[in-house]
Structure formats: structure tokens, C-alpha cells
Amino acid sequence: MIEDTKIAVGVSYVVKIDGESLGEFASCEGLGVEVVLESREEGGNNSFVWQLPTRLKFSNVKLSRPVGKGTSQPILAWISKAPALKPSTAEIQAQNAYGDKIATWYLQRVVPVRWTGPSFTADQPKVLTETLELAHHGIDADG
């Protein structure tokens, strides 16, 4: 039975790149890893095909949040250095509405893929959001 019963309701995600905070995000999508398989048929054995693991493939992570005063600045400052950036380490910490840590994921060799700012439409007022997409080459977790 699980002893720690903290439930991740009302979660926000605090994101840091090399220890520098990019702030809190409302959603985090794409945390995952896939084992790429190679199919091999064995001569004389017609009952099955071998599925051999060859490498790991990490999906891009997309972080989104409502735009607030100054929220875009740390992201754009980091992305503007992208051509000269060395791959970074990212920390994504899920926390509940009280600020208690639920879990933390660590991404290795992170590079920015894209930042998407809000779409402005006067006839359809809605919350302005921004999205940051990250590529990485490894994931670890605690919590």
C-alpha cells in the first residue's frame, strides 16, 4: 500500500534550466521514452520474429502557461543564446496547490526547439498562453 498519499491535484510545474528558473507552467506534455526495436528473422525458425532493442528515443516536452507580466523574458533570453548553447540540464518539478513537491524529472542535454507566443484575436477573448518545447537526450526522476 502507498504510504505517501499526496495527490497531484491542482498541479503546476516549476521549470529550471541549469538551475535558473523559467517560472511555473500550467501543463507539461511529452515526458516519455520509447525503446526502438529492430525485427530480426532467424533462419530455420518460422514461429516468431526476434524484437531486439536498439536505442532509446525521447519525445519532446511541451510546457504551456498563461502569459503574465515578464513570464516570457527568461525563456526568450535563454532561446536567444541557442546557436551558441551547450546542451543544458532541465528540472521539471510538479507541485500541488500548496507548493508541496509531488515529483521531479531531470532532463539531460536539453536544447530549445521552439517558443510559441499567444495568438491575438479581438473577437474571441481568451487567456493568452505561451508554449515552450524542449528536446532532450535522457530522463531521470525522483519523488
The pLDDT tens digits for 70-86 are 899 999 999 998 888 78
- pLDDT for residue 9: 54
**CB < 8 Å & 24+ apart, contacts of 30-37:** 30/59, 30/60, 30/61, 30/62, 31/59, 31/61, 31/92, 31/105, 31/139, 32/58, 32/59, 33/57, 33/58, 33/59, 33/139, 34/58, 34/59
Q: How confident is the model at residue 66 (pLDDT cuts 50, 70, 90)?
A: very high
- Model confidence pTM above 0.75: yes
For residue 53, is pLDDT > 80?
Answer: yes
Higher-pLDDT residue of 104, 42: 104
Please write the tens of the pLDDT for every residue from 17-29. Answer: 999 999 999 999 9
Delineate the domains of the chain, giving CATH numbers in brackets: 12-142 (2.30.110.20)
Q: Which three cell numbers stand for residue 98?
A: 500548496
Please write the tens of the pLDDT for every residue from 92-133. Answer: 999 998 889 999 999 999 999 999 998 888 887 788 999 999
For residue 2, is pLDDT > 50?
Answer: no
Q: Where are the beta strands (DSSP E) in the chain?
A: 12-17, 20-25, 27-29, 33-40, 50-58, 61-66, 88-95, 101-116, 129-135, 139-142
- pLDDT for residue 1: 42
CA distances from 17 to 36, 76, 87, 118, 140 (A): 28, 13, 10, 22, 15
Higher-pLDDT residue of 33, 47: 33
